[in-house]
């Protein structure tokens, strides 16, 4: 009972320390796992044992360490299983020359320098019972690893995943991890069987058979489990979790018995799981919190208890520690950066990539623990390598900010957004697809604009494997009418479909990923029973970093008469911009069937206060009217105290389409409204296109004036 109480106290102290130190590191823009690693060191003899040896001895008595070590190893097995789960094989496929060359260089350079460093360190910091070949291979593998999970989180936090640097880095890190673990497996096999050649052959043969069995026998079985999961309504039951954990344990036990290591079996089991479904994400969500919050801090603490910085004594040993750090940085950061620069990346991008690849973190501690347990490295060298892992991980964030500042990332992201020209069409009802395609092709900004059709499925739907991905037409029944219409008009449409728990958030994410300049959404509910601009539409209008338009169809057929109510606000300007595209030819991708540009008449309704003085303002409106006529638009000025009343009255005069910006003046805002608020939508017999113009940082809303009209309108001499 005393042992149980001690273990519970140890775990409580470990969890509290890891949370507190992790939070402190987050405050200084460091990954939380970095703080948890440091917390483990602080609980060991290097800090707690130094400042309070009595407390340390009472809290971590030697007799209880085996139980703590067993718990930490269990945590590592589950963690490596999750690492395998998160490793998408698609990342290992070609991502261009930069990824191919850099991934090889980021392994070869640190491996070569690490093996070269082994010549110097072997006689000084290694046990003579360890053969030099095993020691050199281990040093090379330890220098080559990249902390894939930590790296992915850094890329996400800094919004780098969608950049070229992020794409190449994540691909290289995936290749590095797989390669480094394969090398380490060979080192472990060599060290464990070096005294028995027959045992080496048995281990290698058994490992090969095991890998083949996992890939060609177990993998298809696991795929059937995922099919069963989908057929049961995408509910990951406790029985299914238990089965997967049993498979993980069996795989880990097998590789341990074969003489490799239990961690390799757990990693392989996770790696063969299907990667394109909600199944994997649900499994990760079930296990990740327990592993990261509870089990991994125990591993960090156990590592800290074995890390005695006092073993590094004298100038010579500290010089050796510094040499290890220098070689690690030169091999990983330098090798990756030079290779990336040679493939055409700029020095800034190459430096950022090298800095990210130099992140070792938790994966380095895992490898070092294996090396220490097998006796490949001495306790003193273990401490030096742990310090190197902490230093290379700690330097990542500040060095990355210096090389590739967040300000520059934001500017490049905004510049990319300003050049976006794709159109995204979220489709809910199949019958709405063809009409939304007609609107989208008429409003597309450029002839080469790409059209994406998106169908979001509820979690109960089972027609598709889950996951963000492009899909074939036969897989998406909801998009079939749209795709048929696109085929008949010779328009290339890219269909997308996945299960969504938050449609608004997913539409915004897809629009940003695909570089959309316009999201075109439909409306199929009765206008008077529910607000047009609520729910998912509200979320998209609020968060999308591009223009958003909501189409309410009332008029069936071509748009011959188009009305644009205008007061000069930023969203009115967005509506006017779309109206111009219609006036200039009926769309740049596909013209509206049966209507030539000369058959379409666009009226700009500008409502002004009554009793205005005859001054320069009226002269300005006259000049704007001339410019609009040159641009095939008519400016109609109406004096009225209520812009909404004037717009509703005008919309009833035979128009086919009304294009209006979101604003209070028109009774339209992206939130819940009463019916009176949406009078224009409710009372207009014409189809309605409600526009929300995206305001990028630094944009200013134009004031209501004739000047704003003229600012929207090119001079007559330059009009099309």
121: burial class by Cβ within 10 Å (0-12, 13-18, 19+)? Answer: buried
Is residue 170's pLDDT more than 70? yes
Phi and psi of 453, rounded to 5°?
A: -105, 125
Top-confidence residue, 92 or 163 = 163
- pLDDT of 115 strictly over 80: yes
Q: Which residues are CB-contacts of 536 (< 8 A; sequence separation ≥ 6)?
A: 503, 504, 507, 521
Distance (Å, rounded) from C-alpha 330 to C-alpha 96? Answer: 24
Of 561, 628, 200, 144, residue with least CA distance to 363: 144
What whole-number distance in Å separates Cα of residue 562 and Cα of residue 161? 42
Q: Which residue has the tokens 């191919």?
A: 100
Q: Give the C-alpha separation, 76 to 665, whole Å.
A: 60
Q: Model confidence over 355-368: pLDDT tens digits?
A: 989 988 888 888 89
pLDDT at 261 over 60: yes
Tokens at 263, concatenated: 């961690």
Closest CA to 658 of 639, 642, 678: 678
The better pLDDT of the pair 663, 7 is held by: 7
Secondary element (H or E) of residue 638: strand 633-639
Strand 547-552 to 687-692 pairing: antiparallel
For the structural domain made of 554-718, what CATH number should be given?
Answer: 3.40.50.620
Average the pLDDT over 36-45 and give the result: 92
3-state secondary structure 59-94: HCCHHHHHHHHHHHHHHHHHHHHHHHHHCCHHHHCC
Joined together, the tokens standing for residue 708 give 């704003």
Tokens of 441: 């092709």
Give CA–CA dist 554/560, Å, rounded: 14
Most confident of 175-189, 422-436, 468-482: 422-436
Sheet holding 657-661, edge to edge: 493-499, 451-457, 422-426, 516-522, 547-552, 687-692, 657-661, 561-566, 601-608, 633-639
- pLDDT value at position 529? 42
Rounded to whole angstroms, what are the CA distances from 36 to 76, 187, 298, 621?
A: 15, 29, 10, 66
Q: Which of 456-460, 558-562, 615-619 is least confident?
A: 615-619
Beta bridge partners, 635, equal 604
Identify which has the larger pLDDT, 9 or 128.
Answer: 9
In this prediction the pTM is 0.61
CATH 1.20.1530.20 assigned to domain 2-60+68-410? The reply is: yes
- Please say if the pLDDT value at position 377 is more than 70: yes
Residues facing residue 550 across a β-bridge: 521, 690
In the beta sheet, which residues pair with residue 658? 563, 688
C-alpha–C-alpha distance, residues 549 and 662, integer Å:
10
Tell me: the pLDDT tens digits for 560-598? 889 998 887 888 888 888 888 877 754 444 444 444 445
Strand duo 657-661 + 561-566: pairing: parallel
Q: Which helix H or strand E contains 493, and what residues bound it?
A: strand 493-499
pLDDT of residue 34: 86
Going from N- to C-terminal start, the domains of the chain cover 2-60+68-410, 554-718
């Amino acid at each position: 009972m005393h042992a149980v109480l001690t273990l519970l106290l140890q775990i409580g102290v470990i969890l509290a320390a890891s949370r507190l130190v992790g939070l402190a590191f987050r405050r200084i823009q460091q990954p939380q796992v970095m703080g948890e690693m440091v917390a483990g060191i602080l609980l060991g003899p290097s800090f707690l044992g130094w400042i309070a040896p009595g407390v340390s001895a009472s809290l971590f008595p030697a007799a209880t360490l085996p139980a703590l070590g067993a718990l930490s190893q269990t945590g590592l097995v589950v963690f490596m299983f999750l690492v395998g789960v998160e490793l998408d094989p698609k990342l290992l496929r070609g991502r261009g020359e930069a990824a191919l060359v850099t991934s090889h260089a980021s392994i070869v350079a640190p491996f070569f320098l690490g093996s070269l460093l082994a010549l110097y360190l072997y006689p000084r910091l290694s046990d003579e019972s360890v053969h030099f070949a095993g020691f050199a291979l281990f040093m090379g593998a330890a220098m080559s690893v990249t902390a894939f999970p930590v790296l992915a989180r850094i890329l996400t936090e800094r919004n780098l995943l969608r950049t070229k640097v992020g794409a190449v880095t994540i691909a290289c890190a995936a290749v590095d991890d797989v390669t480094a673990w394969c090398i380490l497996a060979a080192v472990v096999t060599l060290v464990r069987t070096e005294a028995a050649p027959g045992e080496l052959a048995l281990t290698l043969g058994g490992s090969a058979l095991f890998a083949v069995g996992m890939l060609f026998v177990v993998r298809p079985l696991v795929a059937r489990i995922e099919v069963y999961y989908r057929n049961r309504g995408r509910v990951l039951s406790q029985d299914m979790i238990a089965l997967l954990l049993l498979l993980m344990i069996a795989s880990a036990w097998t590789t341990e018995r074969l003489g490799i290591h239990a961690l390799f079996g757990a990693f392989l089991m996770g790696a063969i799981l299907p990667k394109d479904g909600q199944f994997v994400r649900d499994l990760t969500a079930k296990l990740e919190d327990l592993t990261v919050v509870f089990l991994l801090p125990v591993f960090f603490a156990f590592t800290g208890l074995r890390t005695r910085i006092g073993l590094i004594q004298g100038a010579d040993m500290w010089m050796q520690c510094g040499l290890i750090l220098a070689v690690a940085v030169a091999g990983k950061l330098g090798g990756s950066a030079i290779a990336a620069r040679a493939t055409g990346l700029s020095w800034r991008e190459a430096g950022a990539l090298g800095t990210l690849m130099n992140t070792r973190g938790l994966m380095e501690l895992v490898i070092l623990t294996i090396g220490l347990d097998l006796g490949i490295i001495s306790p003193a060298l273990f401490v030096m390598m742990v310090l190197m892992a902490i230093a290379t991980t700690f330097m990542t964030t500040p060095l990355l900010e210096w090389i590739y500042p967040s300000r520059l990332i934001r500017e490049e992201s905004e510049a990319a957004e300003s050049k976006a020209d794709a159109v995204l069409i979220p489709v809910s009802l199949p019958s709405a697809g063809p009409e939304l395609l007609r609107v989208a092709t008429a409003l597309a900004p450029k002839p080469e604009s790409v059209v994406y059709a998106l169908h979001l499925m509820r979690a109960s739907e089972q027609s598709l494997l889950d996951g963000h991905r492009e899909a074939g037409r036969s897989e998406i029944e909801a998009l079939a009418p749209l795709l048929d219409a696109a085929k008949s008009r010779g328009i290339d449409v890219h269909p997308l479909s996945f299960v969504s728990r938050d449609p608004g958030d997913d539409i915004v994410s897809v629009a940003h990923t695909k570089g959309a300049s316009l999201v075109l959404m439909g409306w199929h509910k009765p206008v008077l029973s529910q607000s047009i601009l609520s729910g998912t539409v509200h979320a998209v209008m609020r968060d999308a970093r591009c223009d958003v338009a909501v189409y309410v169809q009332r008029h069936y057929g071509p748009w011959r008469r188009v009305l644009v109510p205008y007061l000069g606000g930023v969203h009115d300007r967005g509506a006017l911009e779309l109206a111009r595209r219609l006036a200039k030819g009926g769309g740049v991708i596909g013209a509206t069937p049966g209507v030539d540009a000369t058959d379409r008449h666009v009226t700009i309704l500008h409502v002004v206060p009554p009793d205005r003085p005859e001054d320069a303002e009226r002269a300005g409106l006259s000049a704007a009217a001339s410019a609009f006529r040159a641009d095939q638009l008519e400016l109609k000025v109406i004096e009225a105290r209520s812009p909404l009343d004037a717009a509703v009255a005008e919309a009833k005069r035979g128009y086919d389409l009304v294009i209006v910006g979101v604003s209070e003046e028109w009774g339209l805002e992206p939130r819940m409204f009463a019916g009176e608020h949406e009078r224009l939508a409710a009372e207009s017999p014409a189809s309605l296109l409600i526009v929300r113009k995206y305001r990028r940082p630094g944009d200013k809303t134009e004031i209501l004036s004739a000047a704003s009209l003229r600012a929207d309108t090119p001079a007559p001499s330059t009009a099309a």
